[in-house]
Copies of this chain bind each other. A is one copy, B any other.
Amino acid sequence: MGSSGDRFSAANGGAAVVDRGVDFANYFCTYAFLYHQKEMLSDRVRMDAYYNSIFSNKHHFVGKTVLDVGTGSGILAIWSAQAGARKVYAVEATKMAEHARELVKANNVQDVVQVIEGSMEDVTLPEKVDIIISEWMGYFLLRESMFDSVIFARERWLKPNGIMYPSHARMWMAPIRTGLTDQKKHDYDGTMEDWLYFVDDTKNYYGVDMSILTKPFDAEQRKYYLQTSLWNNLHPDQVIGTSAVIKEIDCLTATVNDILQVRATFSSSITAEDTRLCGFTGWFDVHFRGRKENPAQQEIELTTAPSMDNCTHWGQQVFLLHSPVRVHEGDDMIVNFSMSRSKENHRLMDVELGCEIKQSSGRELADVHIVKL
């Protein structure tokens, strides 16, 4: 019977006071499981991108020092060593660090890779590094707020002309059609119908009138079924309009402040002939470009855009509208998107999405939607 429930409030909008034990129970613990690591290691798009970014840019690694933030199984650290790094510090907060150590040894890079178990904010390295490599991206890039730890590591441990792997990140959104709206509406309707029978039965059989709870019960179910963003692996055909970049991050210079909130107003045009606008999808891409002073020889991109053949474990996030809207090719939309960290859990997000549609017919529609990511 698992659910998120209540959390410690963030003490202020910036650096949230996070209880470490609670953070572990809520967040870190999943990463201590080999099954979960395997899921990420089995993501071929993810693996290919990082593998190629390293081995196609060995000039960045040969004879250099590397820090792998959140090494997990140790894969990036091992590749860095195989690519010729002089020294690799692989930091991991969970007991997965023990497995990383075994893996490092079994692959004969123990003279190069030092696995350090601990929180990035707590550990001390013997030296600053030339490269910080990390796979920190959560759903829709920023869920899990792991990039905070990468920023911390960069500020504390990256040499002046050091390089970030990845170097850049972007968040994208686009309008979509999806069967999920109907499915969730159906589930919600079913739950509410069942509730009304329940209220009747409880009054008739047990003499207690629960109707006063119908409103909060309904609010809870709306939140659960209709106001929580969904994971999905969308087919490209489900994207029914133009996409837009809503956030760009330079991993070398971004601060925690820059990513506390994502606010964007973007336009989008419907490109499908005659369809239902069910909501919006969000995804991200990251790039391995090196830096101006020391660029990549081969720039690699890792994208999580809707794809037929190149799906990733991240999928995309789906933000459903209250009710689908019939739209036509050429209809224009102005979308206001606002995402900020949940007060109760800085690793989760609150999202507000507003959408004004100017139909080619001249009609105007608007919808505002609040969801949890």
Contacts and interface: CB of A to CB of B under 8 A. Distances in A.
Contact of A211 (B38, B106, B212): B106
Contacts of A213: 34, 73, 99, 102-103
Interface in A256-310: none
A2 B5 contact: no
Interface in A87-143: 94-95, 99, 102-103, 105-107
B106 A34 contact: no
A28 B1 CA distance: 11
B95 A209 contact: no
Chain A contact surface mostly: helix
Contacts of A224: 35
Contacts of A358: none
A193 interface: no
A221 interface: yes
A190 interface: no
Given A34-B217, A198-B42, A224-B35, A212 B5 contact: no
Nearest to A195: B38
Interface stretch (A16-24, A168-176, A325-333): A16-24
A321 B184 CA distance: 40
Interface in A2-32: 2-8, 19, 21-22, 24-26, 28-30, 32
B35 A209 contact: no
Contact of A5 (B6, B8, B33, B208): B33
Given A21-B19, A75-B208, A217-B34, A29 B6 contact: yes
Interface string A195-229: 10010001001111111110011001100100000
B24 A21 contact: no
Nearest to A221: B35
